[in-house]
Amino acid sequence: MSFPGPPAESRLQRALQPAWSAFVDLIYPPLCSVCHVPLGDGARGWFCKGCEEALPLVEPPYCKVCGEVYDGAFTNEFRCANCSGRKLEFDFAVAACRAEEAVRELVHQFKYERRLHLRGALAALLLRTLDEPRLAQENLADWLLVPVPLHRSREMDREFNQSWELCLRLAQLTGIPAANALARIRETDSQANLDRDERLRNLRGAFALRKPRFWEKISLTQGRRILLVDDVFTTGATTSECARILRREGGAEKVVVITVARG
Ligand SMILES: [Zn+2]
Ligand SMILES: [Zn+2]
């Protein structure tokens, strides 16, 4: 898969880049995002070798709809208990990692401890979802990255929307455009103690298309194929409700959910 690169830099910027990087590395030597050991000269990754190898990556077999991971060998495609008998409004969901060990900890620190610098490492994980065979065959430069929105009051508390931060980073890495196309218009109770059906009821009326600003096209999403971005996928209730709005009200042609982690 090939992507258009980041915006063209001026000659001067290109000439100064190595010196600037060396200067930054001198002041802030790159450390592993998990165990914080120095990564060594010229390292451009986010993890040391040991932590990289220990990442709980999602590997087949997994549910072809919601991405639920199964242990053991399955030779056929299958639908899992999480999503059978249920109408999920997105086409399918792909996660990079299971929400375990280091990945669970990184997401928690990013979201709740405001460690915003971790977005680089998390976006690098999110990037792996684009290698999923069904996405790898697409020309993703024509798609649109859309974050699951936070309610304004929660975003003000947290000072950022973690999903939007991930979208912006992924846009930089791939050239896929990103747009805050949805708004959360109603605060919802915490989903943690609700079952599947209660989660869906709890989310009804929570999302809407964001009203376009005057300089924007009327509809960002009409006829578009969309990568809906979130940090963690749990039951899929939230992303399914967002996908429903993007399709029915936004006219989106296709919605695929990508997340850093699968809970
Ligand atoms: Zn490490
Ligand atoms: Zn499933």
The per-residue pLDDT for range 44-65, each reduced to its tens digit, is 789 999 999 999 999 988 999 9
pLDDT score, position 138: 96
Rounded Cα gap, residues 116 and 119, in angstroms: 6
CA of 213 to the centre of ligand 2 (A): 37
Backbone angles phi, psi at 261, to 5 degrees: -135, 155
Domain ranges of the chain: 12-54, 56-262
Query: What is the value of pTM for the model shown?
Result: 0.86
> Relative to the alpha carbon of 102, which ligand is closest?
1
Sign of the alpha-carbon torsion through 94, 56, 33, 156: positive
The CA distances from residue 221 to 80, 146, 188, in Å, are 30, 9, 25
> Relative to the alpha carbon of 235, which ligand is closest?
2
CA of 35 to the centre of ligand 1 (A): 4
Distance of CA 86 to the CA centre of its chain: 23
Rounded Cα gap, residues 99 and 27, in angstroms: 32
**CA diameter of the chain:** 58
Half-sphere exposure of 199 (CA within 13 A, CB side): 17
> Relative to the alpha carbon of 67, which ligand is closest?
2
CA of 125 to the centre of ligand 1 (A): 15
pLDDT score, position 192: 74
CA of 92 to the centre of ligand 2 (A): 9
Q: Is the pLDDT of residue 30 over 60?
A: yes
Rounded Cα gap, residues 163 and 146, in angstroms: 9
CATH code of 56-262, in short, is 3.40.50
> Relative to the alpha carbon of 236, which ligand is closest?
2
CA of 143 to the centre of ligand 1 (A): 33
